[in-house]
Each structure stands twice: as C-alpha cells, then as structure tokens.
Amino acid sequence: MTTMFGLYYPPCCRGDHGRSRPREDEEGAGDLRVPGKPGIAIVGAGPAGLVIAHLLVREGIPFVVFERQALADLCRRPKAGVIEYRTVRLLERVGIAGPIVQFTTENHRCEFRTPEESVVLDYGALTGGRPHYIYPQDQLVQRLCQTLTEAGGEVRFGHAVRAVRQDSGGVVLLVEGPGGERSEVECEVTVGCEGSNSPVAAAMSHARVSEQSLPVRWLAIIGSAPPLENPRGFAGQMRRGPSQTRYYIEIPAADTVADWPEQRVRGELAVRLGAGGRLDGVPLGEMGILDLRVRVIEPMQQGRLLLAGDAAHLITPAGAKGMNLAIQDAVELAHGLIDRFGPKHDDRRLSAYSRTRLPPIWRTEAFSNWFLHVILTSLRDGTEPAAAVPGGFGHGLSQGWVAALQNDPLFVRWFAHAYAGVDAD
C-alpha cells in the first residue's frame, strides 16, 4: 500500500544545530535507593509508559502506573499508527514484538502529488525490503494494557497526578482518584510519560525548554474506509488498518473544529484528494485539531524525575515519528531502571539516559521539520514583498525537493532510510 502526501498550491502559486551537551551534574540520577518506599511510579499509560511497565514487570521490579483516563476512553480515539522498522526490531529484541504484539501490516510506498505531477517512491525497496508497519495507537495501547494486567502489572485508570515534588527522601505525587478524592503517594523514582502537559516535567526546575509554535494547524479525521488510490491535491491520508484511514487537512492557525462542519470537511477532502463522490458514504469519526508545536526538554531527567515521549519532546506529524520516539525512549529508560533497581544496582545507564537519547531525538526533529516544509508550502521562513507571488518561493522549494527525490539516487536513499526508520548497515 501507499502513503500519500498531496501538496496543494493555491492557484496564484502554481507554476507553468549544533547543540551543547547538558552537564553531567544536571543529568545524574544519583543514589535512588530509599529504604521502605515503593519503587517506580509511571505517570501515563500511553505507548511509552506501557512499554516501560512491561519490561519492569518481567524483571519483577515494583511499579505502579497512574493514568488519568478510564481504559475505555484511553483506547477510544485513534491517533498515531505508523511504526518504524527500527522500532519493531527494537521491540522484538525486548520480547514485545512477536510474543505480545504482532506487526503484520506493512507499508512500502509513499506518494507526493502536486497539481503538476505524481511521484511514487517505493522506499521499502530502497531500504532493502525494510518497510513501515501499521498498528493504530489505540489498538496498541489496548493490547499492551491487557497483557500487562494479565502479567500482574498494576495500572490505576482514572487517577490523575496533579502535582509532583522531589527531595532527598524520594518523590511525592499528589494523585486525584476517579471520585475526586486526593492522596499522596511516595515512591523512589517517577517517570513522566503523560504527554505535553506533564506535571513531572513541570517539577523539573533545571530543565531547559526549546520550543516553537508553527503558524498552521491540521484537522485530523478518521474515516471508515481504506485509503483512496491515486489521490491529487493537498491533503494527507495515512493508513490505520485495512478499513480505516486518517485524513489530514491543512487549516488556518485560528480555525477550530467548529469552523469545519462535516459537510465542509467532505467537500475539502473531495477536492484536495480528487475523490469525487467516493467518500460520500464513508462514516467520518471524531475530528480533532493538531497544533504544529515542537519542543525538546533538556535534560530529560533531574534527580529522581525522568521523562519519556511527548512529556520530553513534541514533534510535528510529518514523518510519523512521535510514537516511535516515545517507544525508543521507553526501551532505553527501562534498561536503565532495570540496571539500577535489579540485581546489578548499577546507575550508569540510567544516569546517561539523556545523553543517550537527545542526539537521535534532535536528528528526528530535524527530519520532521524538513519534511513538513516539503509538504506544506504555506510555511514561510521569511517575509514576502508586496510584489512577490504569494507563496511562490515556498512552492518552488517544494518542487525542488520533489524533483531531487525523483532524480538524485543518493538523496532518495537518505530519505527512504530516514522516513522508514532504517539504520545504516
């Protein structure tokens, strides 16, 4: 199957870091032993938190997962769904892919469509048969929750962590239960995997935040239909299974869901995807707004507090990297926690967690930022004089990149490996 990135240009536009390394004294996890306290609190039962929990329960290391949503709500909304090749191989090595989750649906191709042409890239062939895999996040979370609780892991659904504080004696969480009752929970270490509004991240007083908000939004819609073949114009469609597709529409930054009633969405999809009436009878699910905001917190740990996934970094949807980074964080962090709280009692890997993860995170942020500029010509890096063709320079740059993907074998090989998440041989 093919993933499509359509590039829409308004009619007037159509044409005939170097980073400093965090100091070790900021990153070090220090001595985490606190006699008499429970072990590890994981805040958030998304892919990152659940992968960490799976690896800890296998080693018999005590933990508890706090998740603010009920299980039914957590597994209700489809989000991400594209899994990198390297992520699947990583999950195989730790015994999750295969025995617990079977990744069987593959995606080998993507298409760039402009009003002028269509460019199909078989990136699976360019990487030697190493494709993406499709596994919707809501289904992945449901499967990981089920198998975790069957293995004896403790997940407290409907429990929101409202505040976090740490001192030399450990970490104290203020937890609000399903009925609004509040209690304090003490633990040795807390891992924040609860997304961009993380109270764990907020408690890290020495963290440095690098952040940008981009002047555009995406409207995301789930349709109960397989992807359309041979689409045209601007829009995005990403596979979420054999009979489900996630559509994206670029909208102005000030728009809300209320500005996009279902009939308007159907009309825009028909035009931008060249769908005609093929989506007329397709049930459209709940719509949501994606703010294109990017952020990285450095370091990703402070004392007894550690971050993984969106709590540590936000990335644009371009390239489908967010869930992959979260899972990769989780595996590395789980290894560090196992070394520290298991028989080895070795802090070295846990203390190096930020130094290990930040370089690949920044590389992935760079790829996603570049990719977003290829598929969204409305993003402009500078101002345009009044006499200039609106968006014309961005349109030309995008055409140039698509041409390079067609004609430059070294460049297209780099893209294929970066997009599919294939490490160099």
Q: Which helix (H) or strand (E) holds 321?
A: none
Confidence at residue 114, expressed as pLDDT on a 0 to 100 scale? 65
Strand-pairing partners, residue 5, are 112, 236
Q: Which residues contact 11 (CB under 8 A, 6 or more apart)?
A: none
Residue 24: what pLDDT? 36
Give tens-digit pLDDT for 234-252. Answer: 456 776 666 778 888 888 8
Is the predicted pLDDT of residue 132 greater than 90, yes or no?
yes
CA distance from start to end of the chain: 25
What is the CB-side half-sphere exposure of residue 340 using CA atoms within 13 A?
26
Cβ neighbours for 31, distance < 8 A, ≥ 6 positions apart: 347
379-423 per-position pLDDT tens digit: 767 778 888 887 788 788 888 998 999 999 999 999 999 999 999
Tell which phi-psi region holds residue 302, choosing left (phi > 0), alpha (psi between -120 and 50) or beta. beta
Reported pTM: 0.85
> Average pLDDT, stretch 13-33?
37
Element (H, E) at 169: none
Give 13's DSSP letter. Answer: G
Least confident of 16-30, 65-79, 208-222, 344-358: 16-30
Q: Could you tell me which residues come within 8 angstroms of residue 357 by beta carbon, excluding any fewer than 6 positions away?
A: 300, 328, 329, 332
Q: Over pLDDT 70: what percentage of the chain?
A: 84
- What is the reported pLDDT for 234? 43
Of how many residues is the chain composed? 425
The sign of the CA dihedral 331, 337, 339, 342 is negative
Summarize pLDDT for 140-165 with one digit per residue, the tens.
999 999 999 999 999 999 999 999 99
Q: Check if the beta carbon of residue 346 is closer than 8 Å to that of residue 22.
A: no
Report the relative pairing of strands 118-121 and 40-43 from DSSP bridges.
unpaired
Q: Are strands 305-307 and 189-192 parallel, antiparallel or unpaired?
A: parallel
Sign (positive or negative) of CA dihedral 199, 200, 205, 210: negative
Residue whose structure tokens are 């993380």: 198
* pLDDT greater than 90 at residue 364: yes
> Could you check whether the bond before residue 359 is cis, i.e. omega within 30 degrees of 0?
no
Nearest alpha carbon to residue 273 among 221, 214, 215: 221
User: CA-CA distance, 333 to 313, in Å (whole number)?
Assistant: 15
Query: Residue 365 is which amino acid?
Result: E
217 sits in which H/E element = strand 208-223
DSSP state of 299: S
Q: Which residue has the higher pLDDT, 263 or 175?
A: 175
Residue 98, classed as helix, strand or coil, is coil
pLDDT the model gives residue 358: 98
Q: What is the pLDDT of residue 287?
A: 85
Calpha distance 40→52 (Å, rounded)? 10
Comparing 40-54, 63-77, 86-100, 322-336, which segment has the lowest mean pLDDT? 63-77
**β-sheet with 170-176: strand ranges across:** 160-167, 170-176, 182-187
- SS3 of residue 287 by DSSP: strand
Two structure tokens written together for 91: 């999950």
Q: Give the range among 131-135, 212-216, 404-408 with minimum mean pLDDT.
A: 212-216
Band (pLDDT 50/70/90 cuts) for residue 169 is confident
Spatial separation of the C-alpha atoms in residues 88 and 396, rounded to whole Å: 36
d(CA 284, CA 247) in angstroms, rounded, equals 10
Question: Of 298, 305, 415, which Cα lies nearest the Cα of 357?
Answer: 298
Q: Maximum distance among all alpha carbons in the chain?
A: 74
Res. 290: pLDDT tops 90: no
Q: What is the pLDDT of residue 227?
A: 53
* Interval 172-183: pLDDT, tens: 999 999 999 999
Q: Would you say 334 and 50 are in contact if contact means Cβ atoms under 8 Å apart?
A: no
Q: What angle do CA 424, 111, 251 make, to 5 degrees?
A: 110
Q: How far apart are CA 77 and CA 38, in angstroms?
A: 32
**Taking residues 324-350, what's their average pLDDT?**
97
Neighbours of 11 (CB within 10 A): 6
Could you give the CA distance from residue 237 to residue 249 in angstroms, rounded to a whole number?
A: 9
Radius of gyration, alpha carbons of the chain: 22
> Taking 70 as the threshold, does the pLDDT of residue 355 lie above it?
yes
